[in-house]
A = this chain, B = another copy of it.
Amino acid sequence: MFYHKKELQYTAKPDKPDPVYAKKLQEVLGGQFGEITVAMQYLFQGWNCRGNEKYRDMLLDIGTEEIAHVEMLTTMIAQLLDSAPVEAQENAAQDPLLGAVMGGMNPQHVIVSGLGAQPTDSAGYPWNSRYTIASGNLLADFRANLNAESQGRLQVVRLYESTTDHGVRDMLSFLIARDTMHQNQWMAAIEELEQQQSVVVPSTFPKEKEKQEVAYSFMNCSEGTQSQSGRWASGKSMDNQSTFEYDESPEPMGQAPSLNPAPHYIHDTPLFSSNNPNEKK
């Protein structure tokens, strides 16, 4: 069960309104790697956790914190939209800058949400739950989480660089720091799990059931071999089970497919002797 305190986790007060920036900031609220994504992802991972109670607790702790980040961002965006120039159309004809601002806003911030934040990204695309994953396998999911925090911190940093508003930058410096912690956290949790099982997910599938001859070979599917100079092309494999190989000219190992004709009730194109179109079936 959940409870709310009225104060924000950290201060969210812009120096002044900036409706174009409000549109951009939506990305880390309702985008692919925004705060709604991590909140939902961590909560579902926690709720679906079977055993391993310390991970369940940890996931729900951080998922609950992320809702507070959603709250900070919505509050910031609403303030950035204060008094957006809805009525200024006529003046805009005389004032190109104003026109530019209006052109750059998300019109839904006026028409739909009435100067409020929306659960969408910076292109106005709505958040959807296919952004999240809770697979039941914690190592797989913690890698998803490390990725989400890496993409998320990168995006917040880019947004930090895109404004000079001190209030906005102050709040973003808090989010950037929390993402530093959260990247560290998932790396720590991943290390813990990797020490107890293999680094390859899932660790419980019997090795002999996979086609072992291609399990450690890099396939060079292009002309040129620049890809040979990477760590992945030679040396011990990362799971310590084998040695990387570099296959410079991988060839097909399978059949040239030829499918059966469809049964009549499918009403496909009738078959005919393909080299002579004049010869009707």
Contact = CB atoms under 8 A, between A and B. Distances in A.
Interface string A65-79: 101101110110011
Contacts of A110: 158, 162, 266
B261 A57 contact: no
A30 B82 CA distance: 27
* Most chain B CB neighbours (cut-off 10 Å) among A134, A155, A214, A222: A222
B266 A86 contact: yes
A269 B74 contact: no
Contact of A89 (B153, B164, B220): B164
A210 B176 contact: yes
A14 to B, nearest CB: 12
Nearest to A122: B107
Interface size class of A (residues with CB under 8 A): 35 or more
Given A60-B4, A103-B103, A136 B262 contact: yes
**Number of copies of chain A assembled together:** 6
A94 to B, nearest CB: 9
Contacts of A55: 230, 274
Of A31, A107, A127, A205, the most chain B CB neighbours within 10 A belong to A107
A103 B277 CA distance: 40
Nearest to A75: B257
Contacts of A217: 181
A28 B136 CA distance: 17
Interface string A213-226: 11111111111111
Interface string A254-269: 1111111111111111
B54 A230 contact: yes
Given A111-B122, A129-B118, A54 B229 contact: yes
Interface in A6-24: 6-13, 20-21, 23-24
A163 B124 CA distance: 22
Contacts of A281: 196-197
A222 B86 contact: no
B200 A102 contact: no
Contacts of A86: 158, 161-162, 263, 265-266
Contacts of A38: none
A130 B267 contact: no
A209 B13 CA distance: 18
A253 to B, nearest CB: 5
A174 B253 CA distance: 11
A192 to B, nearest CB: 5
Contacts of A83: 260, 263
Which 6 A-B pairs rank lowest in CB-CB distance, beginning with the nearest? A114-B136, A103-B104, A123-B124, A48-B116, A8-B254, A7-B252
Q: Which of A191, A221, A271 has the most CB of B within 10 A?
A: A221
